[in-house]
C-alpha cells in the first residue's frame, strides 16, 4: 500500500512506515513490523485486516492503478 499511497518512495519512507513513525496519511495505518515484533502469539496477527480502499479510489500516481486494483481484488473488494 505504501507504493500506492506515495508518488515518490525512498528508503526513509519505507523505514518510517514499517516502524510506524512519521506524519503521513497512509491507507493502511498499521505499523506491521512493529506489530509483528511485539506479538507473542501468531494468532494476534493471523486474522488482521489491512485497509486497502483509499479516498479517492485510485493510486496516488496513475501508473500504480493496476497494483492498487490487484490489491483490492486480493482483499475481496
Which cell is 43 given?
Answer: 494468532
Answer yes or no: are the C-beta atoms of 61 and 39 closer than 8 Å: no
Inform me whether the pLDDT recorded for 57 exceeds 80: yes
Which cell is 65 given?
Answer: 492503478
Which cell is 7 given?
Answer: 508518488
Q: Give the per-residue pLDDT at 44.
A: 84
Inform me whether the pLDDT recorded for 18 exceeds 80: no
Q: What average pLDDT does the chain have?
A: 80
Give the Cα separation of 71 and 65 in Å (integer): 10
Amino acid at each position: 500500500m505504501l507504493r500506492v499511497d506515495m508518488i515518490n518512495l525512498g528508503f526513509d519512507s519505507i523505514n518510517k512506515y514499517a516502524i510506524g513513525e512519521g506524519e503521513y496519511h497512509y491507507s493502511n495505518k498499521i505499523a506491521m513490523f512493529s506489530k509483528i515484533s511485539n506479538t507473542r502469539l501468531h494468532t494476534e496477527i493471523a486474522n488482521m485486516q489491512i485497509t486497502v480502499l483509499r479516498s479517492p479510489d485510485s493510486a496516488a500516481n496513475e501508473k500504480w492503478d493496476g497494483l492498487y486494483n490487484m490489491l483490492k481484488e486480493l482483499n475481496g473488494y
